[in-house]
Amino acid sequence: MNFSHLKVFLTLAETGSVTKTSKLLELSQPTINHNIYLLEQHYGAKLFDRSNKKIKLTRFGQVLQKYVAEILNLLEQSEKHIESLMGELSGDLYLGASHTIAENVLPKIMGMFNHDYPEVNIHLEVTNTQHIVDHILENKLDLGLIEGPVTHEKIVAKPFMEDELLVVLPYNHPLAIKKNLTLKELASLPFVLREHGSGTRVVMETALRKAGLDPAELNTVMELGNTQAVIGAVEAGLGATILSALAVTKEIQLKTVKTCKIANVNIVRFFSLIMNKDKPLTPVCETFLSFITSEEVMKLFKN
């Protein structure tokens, strides 16, 4: 069964005539009859009574007519809605994104979105999670894309992508040959970290505490407000760090850093979309939300 069968059924139910249905749909009468036959086989019930050369719906057909009319009406509405969005959706979209997402996730997504919706102007603010939350609450941003957890009564958060954090070491560091580091080895390293308020740092510190290591025990030699600056410091041999696996993809390929896990510690988080629950979503926002969680977009980041 497909939707063309349903259209044939509904038209025949409305006209009561195979001849009229054939003309309206520009289909042959045998094709009309075959479509009805397939529907009746599918439902295991007779849908039309053809006695006395008249075509009338049976009680089964009357039940189906109600649902088919609703289905085809919804399909028509969906087509009109999509047509109205494609090429006509316009306006401004104010996004806030944390550094890891802005540098490693959004470029691909924004490129695809701009291709489908060229009349939408995206304004992007790149900052840490706490600032994004503040600006969402102040209605300076429509949507935020963040790395860390958020708990606030006026913030709605929707996970949209999984991410793993790994220990990142200079390529030639003696411990870089290991696949897993112990907590003791971790505590012995000099660390270059993101600033307080960074989503990456919040997730890292939470995971270490659960594993039994107080983040205050780390030998933090430097704090930087930019992921690329942190990576550059690691490449220069100034220390190790813990970052998203996505953030160091290029550096791994260039063999300037290596990554490893922490023994018996799995630091996995979700990137989240956040919004102010008291601020109504515009059509542009709704479209972006649907777009970023679509299967087509998620395929871009699957290994």
Asked whether the predicted pLDDT for residue 87 surpasses 70, the reply is no
Which of 85, 100, 129 terminates a domain? The answer is 85
Residue 78: pLDDT band with limits 50, 70, 90: confident
For residues 260 and 181, membership in a common domain is answered with yes
pLDDT for the residue numbered 86: 62
pLDDT tens-digit map of 211-242: 999 999 999 999 998 889 999 999 999 999 99
What DSSP letter does each residue of the chain carry, written as one string?
A: --HHHHHHHHHHHHH--HHHHHHHHT--HHHHHHHHHHHHHHHTS--EE-GGG--EE-HHHHHHHHHHHHHHHHHHHHHHHHHHHTTT--EEEEEEE-HHHHHHTHHHHHHHHHHH-TTEEEEEEE--HHHHHHHHHTTS-SEEEESS----TTEEEEEEEEEEEEEEEETT-GGGG-SEE-HHHHHTSEEEEEPTT-HHHHHHHHHHHHHT--GGGSEEEEEES-HHHHHHHHHTTS-BEEEEGGGGHHHHHTTSEEEEEETTB--EEEEEEEEETTSPPPHHHHHHHHHHTSHHHHGGG--
pLDDT computed for residue 269 by the predictor: 86
What is residue 225's predicted lDDT score, i.e. its pLDDT?
86
CA 299, CA 235: separation in Å to the nearest integer? 30
Q: State which residues form the domain around 276.
A: 91-160+270-301
Q: What pLDDT, on the 0 to 100 scale, is given for residue 254?
A: 95
In tens, the pLDDT along 204-215 reads 999 999 999 999
Q: Average pLDDT over the chain, rounded to whole?
A: 89
The last residue of one of the domains, among 61, 85, 109, is 85
> What pLDDT sits at residue 155?
94
Residue 186 has pLDDT above 80, yes or no: yes
**Are 265 and 297 in the same domain?**
no
Structural domain count, the chain: 3
Looking at the chain, the whole-number percentage of residues with pLDDT higher than 90 is 52
pLDDT value of position 83 = 67
| Together in a domain, 7 and 133 | no
| Same domain membership, residue 183 and residue 198 | yes
Domain end marker among 45, 60, 85: 85
Query: Which pLDDT band holds residue 277 (cuts at 50, 70, 90)?
Result: very high
| Whether residue 27 is found in the same domain as residue 108 | no
Task: Give the residue, 65 or 85, on which the prediction is more confident.
Answer: 65
Indicate if 274 and 154 belong to the same structural domain. yes
Write down the pLDDT at residue 84.
Answer: 63
Same structural domain, 176 and 265 = yes
Averaged pLDDT, 257-284: 92
Residue 245 sits in a domain whose CATH number is: 3.40.190.10
For residue 125, the model assigns a pLDDT of: 95
Which residue, among 127, 61, 71, has the nearest Cα to 94 in the 3D structure?
127
Residue 294 sits in the same domain as residue 149: yes
Same domain, 153 and 99: yes
Q: What is the pLDDT of residues 137-153, one digit of tens each?
A: 999 999 999 987 788 99
Shared domain for 144 and 58, answered yes or no, is no
**How confident is the model over 122-132, as a mean pLDDT?**
92
289 in the same domain as 232: no
* pLDDT at residue 31, rounded to an integer: 92
Q: What is the mean pLDDT of residues 236-259?
A: 94
Can you give the CATH number for the domain in which 33 is found?
1.10.10.10
What is the pLDDT, as a whole number, of residue 298? 75
Whether residues 203 and 55 share a domain: the answer is: no
